[in-house]
Amino acid sequence: MDAITVNTEASEDANSRPLDSIDVSIPELYQNDTYQPYFERLRREDPVHFYADSKYGPFWSVTRYKDIMKVAVNHQVFSSKWELGGVRLEDQVQGYERPSFIQMDEPDHGQRRMAVSPVVAPANLQRMEGVIRERTAEVLDGLPRDQTFNWVEAVSIELTSRMLATLFDWPLEDRHRLMFWSDVTVCHVDTPDAPVHSEAERWAELQKMATAMKALWDERAKSNVPRFDLISMLAHSEATRNIDFRELLATCSLLIVGGNDTTRNSMSGGVWGLSQFPDQYQKLRENPDLVPSLVPEIIRWHTPVLHLRRTALADFELGDKTIRKGDKVAMWFVSGNRDDDAIETPHDLIVDRPRAREHISFGFGVHRCVGNRLAELQLRILWEEILKRGFEIEVLDRPKFLRSNLIHGVRELPVQLH
């Protein structure tokens, strides 16, 4: 079936099936790029939606921008705790829980977050801008012309893996292992071509990662010279210096994913998005000064994190529904960013959109993405350097997306440069 047939079928299905049978947790919806009509119907008819029979148990879907905001800022009621299942719809399997700070409530979350946030604070970003630009130029100048290649491998993964190695001060030549562990962390183990196929296998790989990180940690803990990599910061911070091996594993896997995956997919999603709106791409090529609004617009339009989950600590009225204590609640950022009550013509990628920064991709409240400004910096430099070179990027086929209800992953995007 071609893409248009698949999309028509999805739209018919979304609008004809009984409302209470809509399950937006199915990873294939995102792999096949057919999720939008289901969310459109939910936003219209049942914006706070309960589904009882998902593979991941009963859960609420919050689909409108303003409702997502209400959940995101209320960390007193909506918990992230790993002990309650964590921040993904898919509960953590017992014995394999990963207690990283994204899966903690206050004050534990805040103390640990503050240990790593200096690495992406404004002053440190200024220090990094030069090296990011140099690498971006090197990667772009090495691309073939008039030949088909995979943008994801050649540009998005190449650039974000180098950045990740820098953030950890990890050997650059060994950066592909970090990318592998990132894929290991986010995958659904029941995906046929996933890098690991069971929780035990995932844990074994992450233990290898944590062992390698621990060796760097121990060495850097001894040094009195302040260094600006994540491992050194964790090893020296009061809040994190004595964390156990399990938390070290969890924290490093969180920072590996956060430090590359979302930016990687936005680098690919932006190229795909602009190919769908050629008049916008043309406007951008004629006016490179639009990059500062292009960057948040790409992050909104692509929405690299599909959902994050919370667990209710008390009953809570949302819309005309009552969420009960103990219920699982998914904030669907991918839906909130397409809510036309909050964003005008939300399905269009508009390079000079007014108030482009007001999107929901980074989440809101105390758990808001700590690396958002680094992500924007990398995307800004990438697009500045693309436009400087006058590249015309021709997209030859639809992207292949990751089978995931968590990460909006782009695995392949065939392009030619002219």
Partner 1 sequence: MPNVTYIEFDGTAHTIDVPVGKSLMRGAVDNGVAGIDGDCGGECACATCHAYVDPAWLDKTGSPEPGSLEEAMLSFAAAAQPNSRLTCQIRMREELAGIVLRMPEGQH
For residue 363, the minimal CB distance to partner 1 (Å) is 9
The DSSP H or E segment spanning 159 is: helix 158-168
Q: Using CB under 8 A as the criterion, what x/- string covers residues 122-141 for binding partner 1?
A: xx-x----------------
Contact 54, 89 (CB under 8 A): yes
Binding piece for partner 1, criterion CB under 8 A, among 257-265, 304-312, 363-371, 395-403 = 363-371
SS3 336: helix
Other beta carbons within 10 angstroms of residue 176's beta carbon come to 11
Residue 36 within binding range of partner 1, rule CB under 8 A: no
Residue 301 within binding range of partner 1, rule CB under 8 A: no
**How many Å is the Cα radius of gyration of the chain?**
21
Residue 418 within binding range of partner 1, rule CB under 8 A: no
208 vs 357, beta carbon nearer partner 1: 357
Q: Using CB under 8 A as the criterion, what x/- string covers residues 148-167 for binding partner 1?
A: --------------------
Residue 110 within binding range of partner 1, rule CB under 8 A: yes
212 vs 342, beta carbon nearer partner 1: 342
For residue 268, the minimal CB distance to partner 1 (Å) is 23
67 vs 90, beta carbon nearer partner 1: 67
The runs of H, that is alpha helices, within 169-314 are: 175-186, 199-222, 230-236, 245-258, 261-276, 278-286, 291-302
Residue 57 within binding range of partner 1, rule CB under 8 A: no
Residue 72 within binding range of partner 1, rule CB under 8 A: yes
Interface pick for partner 1 out of 188, 321, 373, 398 (rule CB under 8 A): 373
Contact 411, 399 (CB under 8 A): yes
Burial 69-108 (b: 16+ CB within 10 A, else e): bbbbebbebbbbbbebbbbbbbbbeeeebbbbbbbbbeee
Half-sphere exposure (CA, 13 Å, Cβ side) for 38? Answer: 25
Residue 11 within binding range of partner 1, rule CB under 8 A: no
250 vs 369, beta carbon nearer partner 1: 369
Interface pick for partner 1 out of 17, 227, 325, 368 (rule CB under 8 A): 368
Interface pick for partner 1 out of 88, 112, 113, 302 (rule CB under 8 A): 113
Interface pick for partner 1 out of 120, 167, 249, 290 (rule CB under 8 A): 120
Contact 199, 188 (CB under 8 A): no
Query: What is the rounded CA–CA span in Å between residue 355 and residue 50?
Result: 32
SS3 350: coil
Residue numbers at the binding site for partner 1 (CB under 8 A): 69, 72-73, 75, 106, 110, 113-114, 117-118, 120-123, 125, 355, 357-359, 362, 364-366, 368, 370, 372-373
